[in-house]
Amino acid sequence: MTTLAAEDHQLVFETALAFARKEFGPIADQIDEDDAFPPDIWKRLASEGYLGIGVPEQYGGSGGDYMQAALVCEALTRVSPAIALSYGAHLNLCAHNLLRNGTEEQKRKYLPKLCSGEWVGCLGITEPNAGSDAMGIECTARLDGDHYLLNGSKMFVTNGPGADFMLLYAKTDPAAGKRGITTFCVELPAPGFSVSRKLDKVGMRGSPTGELAFHDTPVPVENVVGEVNQGFKVVMSGLDLERAFYCFLALGCSEECMALALAYSQERSQFGQPIAGFQLIQAKLADMYTGVFTSRLAAHEAMRLSMAGKRCSKEAAAALLYTSEVSQKVAYEAVQVFGGYGFMKEYPVQRFWRDGRLGTIGAGTSEIRRLIIARELLGQR
Ligand SMILES: Cc1cc2nc3c(=O)[nH]c(=O)nc-3n(C[C@H](O)[C@H](O)[C@H](O)COP(=O)(O)OP(=O)(O)OC[C@H]3O[C@@H](n4cnc5c(N)ncnc54)[C@H](O)[C@@H]3O)c2cc1C
């Protein structure tokens, strides 16, 4: 890890890494193989206080800051990117979002359950017909007395199958485009709610991803997060932080791939010498290191800027674009260093290669990140 983080942050990372290696190291391959997230992991993460980082103690959290949460995510990624992805969806997308935008009553009601691991949280914005065009969602929420009735579906929801709580975005004024979206707290399961399917992924296996359906699902009016028709503001309030956070997942994948390749290159001999002695392998190791080093700078800077509360859409998008694309190259070269063994499931390097592939797709694609950067450079909105 890092020589950039303050000393207590360094300790957070090292403690989390030791915890993750001990607790999840022996089962990480099995989680991937079975595509099953062992439910007791939430309790183990909560017992270390990891589910409450960045959430004040008055809401059941463990205090600390977003950087510490990101460092825990980086440490979890080094062992199991799938666990880190579910952790990020629960804490960063769901709990931190509620903390920033929820009412006092919502925070007191829901955050303690999320921080203790009693409830698993998720966030639902993406739909079958609305991914990159997130403001084009079709799910509706119609006011009916003291409730809204939800109708529609949500796609690719991390932790969706089995979640107890969801922050959900729906159209309350479909004619008003992005000015007609509202955010809701939804307790699950609920009447009219179903998991249409658990999705079968090539990577991040174990982190459950689902398509969810709502048919006249009632949500009390007091569960509106922020103001009615102001969901766009809720989305925007967290985007830079969320992108900065996910840089640490990409960084963790790169770091672990480099570490695995470095160790293997010194163990594996061909032509009577360790393959690390060949300059073409040394070049790969040097390029991997350079990618890790520069990704770390970008991730920390993006988190520092977004924690300072400054608008940093260009910087956060650039950092995630960079760290996630670098991690593809690092993983590719790490598999290459392993040769045929890199293509075998008995070596974990292929798992990081598959898991890390999500980095240029989830939380906004590389293409969308480039558009955000270019628009800002050109002074467009
Ligand atoms: C494993 C996983 C977990 C996820 N978790 C969550 C979650 O918890 N909650 C949630 O709400 N969502 C989640 N997502 C959804 C994720 O954010 C979307 O997949 C992502 O935003 C892309 O949307 P899409 O898949 O519909 O692709 P599309 O938007 O259909 O894009 C297809 C291709 O077209 C490109 N493209 C689209 N628009 C443009 C444009 N204007 N210019 C140039 N190129 C363009 C894209 O970059 C991409 O290459 C998850 C996705 C995955 C795969």
Please give the distance, rounded to the nearest whole angstrom, from the Cα atom of residue 158 to the centre of ligand 1.
13
Same fold: 122-228 with 232-377: no
Over the chain, what is the mean pLDDT? 96
Q: Determine the topology of domain 122-228 in CATH.
A: Butyryl-CoA Dehydrogenase, subunit A; domain 2 (2.40.110)
335-381 residue pLDDT tens: 999 999 999 999 999 999 999 999 999 999 999 999 999 999 999 86
53-107: per-residue pLDDT in tens?
999 999 999 999 999 999 999 999 999 999 999 999 999 999 999 999 999 999 9
- Selecting among 23, 127, 211, 242, the annotated active-site residue is 242
Pick from 35, 90, 97, 126 the residue to mutate for probing ligand 1's pocket: most ligand atoms within 8 Å of its CB. Answer: 126
Ligand 1 site residues (CB inside 6 A) read 89, 122-126, 131-132, 156-158, 201, 204, 209, 358, 361-365, 367-368, 371
Question: Which homologous superfamily is 232-377 in?
Answer: Butyryl-CoA Dehydrogenase, subunit A, domain 3 (1.20.140.10)
Instruction: List C-alpha distances in Å: 81 to 204, 246, 353.
Output: 6, 11, 10
Is 242 considered catalytic here? yes
Q: What is the pLDDT of residue 309?
A: 86
Task: Give me the residue spans of the domains in the chain.
Answer: 7-119, 122-228, 232-377
**pLDDT bracket for residue 311 (50, 70, 90):** confident
For a pLDDT cut of 70, what percent of the chain falls above it?
98
Mutate to test the pocket of ligand 1, among 127, 188, 361 (most ligand atoms within 8 A of CB): 361
Contacts for 175 with CB less than 8 Å, ≥ 6 apart? none
Atom of ligand 1 nearest to the CA of 159: 8
SS3 215: strand
The domain 7-119 is placed in CATH, from the list 2.40.30.10, 1.10.540.10, 3.40.640.10, 3.30.930.10, at 1.10.540.10
Tokens 């966030």 -> residue: 123
Nearest to 337 by CA among 261, 278, 286: 261
Q: SS3 of 186, please? A: strand
Q: Among candidates 216, 215, 233, which has minimal Cα distance to 224? A: 233
How far is the centre of ligand 1, averaged over its atoms, from the C-alpha of 307 (Å)? 25
- At residue 2, the pLDDT reads 43
The CA 361 to ligand 1 mean position distance, Å, reads: 6
d(CA 149, CA 141): 5
